Structure 1
Amino acid sequence: MNYKLKNMMFGLTSVIFAHSGFAKELKLDDLFPKDRLIEVNITISEKNWDTLRYQRRTRENALPPSRQFAPPPSPYSYVEANVTIEGVTFNKVGIRKKGFLGSQNTIRPSLKVKLDHYETGRNIGGLNNLTFNNNVQDRSLMSQFMGYQIWDEAGAPGSRCAYAKVIVNGKNLGVYSHVETVREPLLKREFGNEKGTLFEGTVVDFYPEWEGSFERKTGDDKKGRELIVKVTNALQGGGGKPFFGGSVSGRAWVPNNGNYDKVWFMPEFVDSNWIKGVNGAGYEAGQGFEKLISKNFNFIKQMHYKASSLYLRFPFELKNLDDIQKTKNLLLRMKCDDGFVAYINGNEIARYNAPQSPKWDSMATSSGDDGSNATFVAFNINKHRDKFRTGNNLLAIHGMNISLESTDFLQVAELQTNEHDYQKAIWELIDEEAFYKFWALEGLLSFWDGYSGNRNNYFIYLNPDTGKFHFMPWGADCLFEKFSRLRVDRRSPRSVRLKGLVARKLYQIPSVRKKYAATIKQLMVEHWNEDKLLAETERIETMLTPHISDYQWRSVRFDAIREFIRNRRADVEIEINGKDMPIWPK
């Protein structure tokens, strides 16, 4: 593997038993066996256990508006416990609950063990923080164990993973995944240098003015955030030249019937009785989009709990088509919550989170977080240059909300010419080959809650040796499922995930799609052997079955991962073996 030090020696931590008179050494390697479960015994007071397991994360405290500037404070606090790992006892350690929203559980909580929380200097091979995931979201119990193993075999940096039988006060909580915490020992092993800056990304991305949302774990904070800003600027496209946008005038209508479904976006349609306003339409029932919505185009009374669609028409004039014909990138840029279809002079030019045949009462097929939706996303419309004409033109937008109950809605449009070389700018800041492999692995394994699938569960490491960011996976209990459990359009490609801004921007470039397809083909040749993978699931099932708790058995379904393995090749190859991969968004 490119970044590993194959023969690295790990440090040792010795714990001396108070009543035994001898010391037993526990190495970091001892915590990641492949052929057995490690045993973790936790002794904790009932008061501390109840404090730990009943703490919870809510959408409100997990995703507050303030997270744009800094990660929100954790709702979980450390309590005191004694922990015995593989027969080695650590007295008086810190232990807390962990997990975002989907994996929370009061009976079998995921756990963080901080060995040096009360006594500094305690660690195992340099690692002082242990992660035990409860597998609540993974019915097969194999997603993390097999996923991280494939990642490692493919030569991509990431955590090691083993299984643990966790016992609390004598009660078996069942099978947990022990995932190597991403800290200095892992960075040293994978990159040969642990002195760089490490950030964790939790439902965040490279949005303008959101560099504070990434949580720094190690390294130089200032230097790392400066590179985040550079990546953000590279994705935004530098200094484009708008020829439509800002406070341009238009008209809008909240449709209450389908009488005009086939004609409202045509230039000759008469909209004189529609509401007149300026660019920036929608509503905000809470906080977030209010500054982006113009006065006359605030439709909270007409739409909230009443309507999901809005029709917008913006006339504009072009003196000539020279810039449009010559530009490297002709872009429609949208701030959109949640979906839209855009037309130029009656011709569809772009769509996002939209049903196949939108109507007057259509809803968006998916949604994103407000931080993403409040920033411009560019849609390359080079193939629609011929739809523009000298003189009068019309941009029409069918905006769609995710539901009638949604608390906000937004549509802001801009058309621009842009000479920015996206690939060149991005690859100066992100390691190209490493990202292709990371991205293709997320696609092959269908990581629907990872970076490319949900802008979530990932680390970025500023490697001092390259001066570029490298991506690593985290929270890998959401692999090996064909479809996302989130509200994602099921017509979207199965072989690639495109929610992450880096992935989404790059995928619009034909040469990138070609290289992505070649990367995933190579990964399948080298690491996707159905017989071996299915045999591994049988071995793991045999190994785990004696240790699964009665409570845990309620949700276990080993065959779930086998169905995915058997069908995955066909789902992927139909998209990567053609002349081009599926264009998305359409």
Structure 2
Amino acid sequence: MSRLHLCAAKGFFLGWCSVIASLPMLSNSADAQELRAGTLFDSSRLHEVEITLPAAEWQQLCKQTRWQGGFGAMFAADPADKPFTYFKGDITIDGVAIAGVGIRKKGFFGSLDEVRPSLKIKFDEYTDQQPIEGLDRLTLNNNKQDASQMSQLLAYRIFNDAGVPAPRCSLVKLTVNGEYLGIYSNVESIRKPFLQDRFGSPVGKLYEGTVVDFHPQAVSKLEAKNKDADEDRDRVELLAELLATEGDLPMERVSAIVDLDQFLRFWAVESLIGFWDGYTQDQNNYFVYEDPATKKFRFLPWGADVCFTTGGGPLAAFGGDGHSEAIYAQAILPNRLYRSAEMPEQYKQTMLQVLDDAWNEAALLKEVDRIEKLTEGHLHEAQRPSSRSGNHGMPDLTTDRVREFISKRRETILAELESTPIAIAQQPRIPMHTEELGTARGSFETRWSEGFGPSNSDSELQITLKLGGQEVELADLSASAHLLQAPSFPGFGGNEQRTPPAMIVLKGTRSSDDKPVMVTFMVDRASIKDLPQQPIPVSGTFVEGAPRFGFGFSAPMLSGDIKLSPGDTELGEAIAGEFDVRIVKLRGGGMGGPQAPR
């Protein structure tokens, strides 16, 4: 090779080295060690997060939902059911790139979204890696219910200042596949690294509470987050039994299970910051950790994206005796505790201490100003006030509302504490739970029709229906399949742009009394094409009597699997399948008013 050619080759090689050196490295460990948990949760600046994954998989992720079966079906599901699946992609955090992470959608109710979904990023889902010291995953919340973008940032800081272990939080600008999705809250996940850092050990039993309380009929829905919690539920069940005790609460036995001093601080902070969607008011959004050092339950906050509001939330009226701003007590544990002789004064003193330790109006208002300036010009179109209509039927949580809340809260709380003991609901709200009514199994064949058309004349249906343990004989069997537009529920995640579902209706007449019976399945259309001949989790409704197309809380609901034949969701095309479902009825949760936990 000539000298000229050698020089050209050398120049080409060095040029490519320079280009490669300028690119962010996709690293599984070493290069990403520049990041630390403490750095990532620095809330003084906006962090940059960029995610890439195949476009088709991103669309599939966005369209996954809990809404199949309608408004109430998600509440009937078993907590172990996982509606969201992981997809493999890459992430860059503040310029540090990490390859091969797991990415999935998250959210339960008001935060669900098909355009700007909340996300979980699990670093070791596909690759054995721990790229960020002190973290094994990210939780990125879309702030859909928080126009101020600061509820979680402020709320968790106040919990921590009050001595209640809570996640750290920062704000990030999120981009996915080159599309900017706006400001997200980066919230520290309550998993092993969190538990190790706060308690010195991650081995205690950990449970997550989502629309559930310590009630004998509902405590099974408290989701175990580690193996020990799943295999040994004796103590959560015992607490439910103690709280259901007639007469005076056995305080000595309860205090042997629950760290009451810690719970009082947790309780006081939830009330102080107006966290109506937390445990003490809404039986929702909390973790319980059995501290290995004390063998007592410690309550940890979660889902704090709708704080700094007054009124107690949309279910406050179910308390029956008016709402108190100074004490949230619709959940079973706080309600029963407050009726113990010494508890009202203990709660008052705890609240006063929390006000001293964690409620500095001047500092909080200064932080509000800082966050408002920090996020200015970085909001996604959907986050701007002009495009928002509020959530949960309540006014939107704007920055001005946060300021007003902070300015007036101390005065409101102190005024109510003057009349200790404060009047609370005479009975706690029984938590939402399911009562099993029966089962339905069988198979069907029919064709797709548009809207709520009649049953197909040449359809076939075989069904074994059991109610109350007795088999129900049916006649005049028919099946139909319908292509619908997605129902909308404004204020409760209803702005989510969901793919229209498919509905399969099975009908019959009960031979014993000629009463009509209807089984209705709501099915994600994409699942029919993407998962043919595989069991698909399905939900829906069961109706006896006059047919009605209602998918709320009133009708019994279905929980189980359906396996469909491959096919297109086109009008006139054949569809066949097999089904195996439980028929359940939702109870409690405010739908039937306040009830005692008996």
Q: TM-score if structure 1 supplies the norm length?
A: 0.63
Q: For residues 231 and 185 of structure 1, what CA distance do their matches in structure 2 show?
A: 27
* Alpha carbons of structure 1 residues 543 and 209: separation in structure 2 relative to 1, 3 Å: same
1:192 alignment partner in structure 2 = 200
Maintained 8 Å contact 1:513/1:580: yes
Deviations 1:292-329 (A, max 9, x none): xxxxxxxxxxxxxxxxxxxxxxxxxxxxxxxxxxxxx4
1:24 deviates by 4.4
1:119-134 aligned at under 5 Å gives the runs 119-134=127-142
Q: For residues 21 and 27 of structure 1, what CA distance do their matches in structure 2 show?
A: 12
1:40 aligns with 2:40: no
Q: For residues 128 and 50 of structure 2, what CA distance do their matches in structure 1 show?
A: 22
- Where 1:195 maps in the other structure, the secondary structure is coil
Q: For residues 24 and 127 of structure 2, what CA distance do their matches in structure 1 show?
A: 15
* Alpha carbons of structure 1 residues 115 and 98: separation in structure 2 relative to 1, 3 Å: same
1:550 aligns with 2:381: yes
Q: Tell me the C-alpha RMSD between the 2 structures.
A: 2.4
1:469-488 aligned at under 5 Å gives the runs 469-488=297-316
* Alpha carbons of structure 1 residues 425 and 551: separation in structure 2 relative to 1, 3 Å: same
Q: For residues 572 and 585 of structure 1, what CA distance do their matches in structure 2 show?
A: 21
1:84 deviates by 0.7
1:520 deviates by 0.7
1:73 alignment partner in structure 2 = 81
Maintained 8 Å contact 1:116/1:123: no
Deviations 1:387-428 (A, max 9, x none): xxxxxxxxxxxxxxxxxxxxxxxxxxxxxxxxx543222111
Q: Please, which of 301, 326, 348 is the counterpart of residue 517 of structure 1?
A: 348
1:576 aligns with 2:417: yes
1:157 alignment partner in structure 2 = 165
Give the letter for the 1:141 counterpart. Q
Maintained 8 Å contact 2:249/2:336: no
* Alpha carbons of structure 1 residues 194 and 16: separation in structure 2 relative to 1, 3 Å: farther
2:74 alignment partner in structure 1 = 62
2:359 alignment partner in structure 1 = 528
Maintained 8 Å contact 1:422/1:506: no
1:170 deviates by 1.7
How many residues of Structure 1 are paired with residues of Structure 2 in the alignment?
Answer: 388
1:546 deviates by 2.9
Q: Please, which of 198, 211, 214 is the counterpart of residue 203 of structure 1?
A: 211
- Where 2:342 maps in the other structure, the secondary structure is helix
* Alpha carbons of structure 1 residues 496 and 224: separation in structure 2 relative to 1, 3 Å: farther
| Structure 2 unaligned blocks of 5 or more | 1-22, 389-396, 428-598
1:141 alignment partner in structure 2 = 149
| Structure 1 unaligned blocks of 5 or more | 1-14, 241-328, 330-419
1:446 aligns with 2:274: yes
* Alpha carbons of structure 1 residues 577 and 19: separation in structure 2 relative to 1, 3 Å: closer
| Range with greater deviation from structure 2 (451-460 or 71-80) | 71-80
Maintained 8 Å contact 1:165/1:175: yes
1:223 deviates by 6.7
Q: Please, which of 76, 79, 101 is the counterpart of residue 109 of structure 2?
A: 101
1:501 aligns with 2:332: yes
* Alpha carbons of structure 1 residues 500 and 477: separation in structure 2 relative to 1, 3 Å: same
Maintained 8 Å contact 1:83/1:90: yes
Segments ≥4 residues shifted beyond 4 Å: 18-22
* Alpha carbons of structure 1 residues 518 and 206: separation in structure 2 relative to 1, 3 Å: same
1:172 aligns with 2:180: yes
Q: For residues 482 and 229 of structure 1, what CA distance do their matches in structure 2 show?
A: 33
- Where 2:42 maps in the other structure, the secondary structure is coil
Q: For residues 338 and 303 of structure 2, what CA distance do their matches in structure 1 show?
A: 24
Give the letter for the 2:407 counterpart. R
Give the letter for the 1:62 counterpart. M
1:149 deviates by 0.6
Q: For residues 26 and 145 of structure 2, what CA distance do their matches in structure 1 show?
A: 39
Q: TM-score if structure 2 supplies the norm length?
A: 0.62
1:139 deviates by 2.0
1:560 aligns with 2:401: yes
Maintained 8 Å contact 2:312/2:325: no
